[in-house]
Chains A and B, each alone.
Chain A
């Protein structure tokens, strides 16, 4: 068994999933993968079954957060050292893991986020969305002091400690920004690694224009609530220095 698990949440991705998984099997045999079919109403499950993929089948749609968390629980059960979440639509290039994983292996970071805004190459999303992402990024900096540029990136690698944390507690819907706050509040080091993302080839993104307003309000509140619920954060050294 490999020590790295790729978690691929898939909701109605029948058109994309084959390409994504075949790419992993052919070109990246050093990584294990698990497809989490999030109660899709299309052929996603049948595609996985016919092709003999490794997959978990959620009988009801839990949303991206619940699906990714299932992957973390699976990684915890199987004792993986590193878990990587990638989107099921083929936006993320797995080759970049070569650059992301050393951060975890050296212990330099606990959570590594593949960020498209550091070198500003490849698919950059629309201007409206970039503005939204900047606002959320500012909110996270305000709440935690951690600077992350691509807060909505679903391309992330975490070490064993965070596999355990996320398998117990992972936000439900639109989880990416909240998961960063939660990581920092658990005393984890969050690092960004420049990657190039592709635009999705088939299907549509799960967030349309009308949902985006709801998204901003919900995520902003979630960040604040997540921050407040952890209470006063002290420097990690505070716990090491024992007064007695």
Chain B
């Protein structure tokens, strides 16, 4: 069972988290497809704050005896997933930038050739 002070703090935290996410989305500073994992993390966090027994149940299922430790492990797991997805996004973008640069260089050469022709 979570202490009631912590429960209040966490509830406020989760609400602030979602408000921030939607603010970013509203201003189009985040693309929706990249925030899906963030939303999933927030949803799990929310469920655990509202029904702490799900957390206790899940953590005991994993063989962790202390609730707080379980919470930290879950948080870290989500962060790692999000970081991995970010690395994958960066790698894909690097590929795209490479292809763009190569195409531009070929076009630039073509333009030079056209300019030289009388």
Question: A residues bordering B, Cβ < 8 Å?
Answer: 36, 54-60, 62, 66, 69-70, 73-74, 77, 172
Contact = CB atoms under 8 A, between A and B. Distances in A.
Contacts of B105: 36, 56-59, 70
A62 B109 contact: no
Interface of B is mostly: helix
A58 B101 contact: yes
Contacts, number: 37
Contacts of A69: 98, 102
Contacts of B102: 58, 62, 66, 69-70, 73
A73 B106 contact: yes
26 contacts: A54-B109, A55-B109, A56-B105, A56-B106, A56-B109, A57-B105, A57-B108, A57-B109, A58-B101, A58-B105, A59-B101, A59-B104, A59-B105, A60-B97, A60-B101, A62-B102, A66-B101, A69-B98, A69-B102, A70-B102, A70-B105, A73-B106, A74-B106, A74-B109, A172-B94, A172-B98
Interface of B: 94, 97-98, 101-102, 104-106, 108-109
A56 B101 CA distance: 11
A73 B107 CA distance: 12
A128 B4 CA distance: 64
Contacts of B97: 60
Nearest to B107: A56
Contacts of A62: 98, 101-102
A73 B104 CA distance: 12
Nearest to A49: B112
Nearest to B91: A172
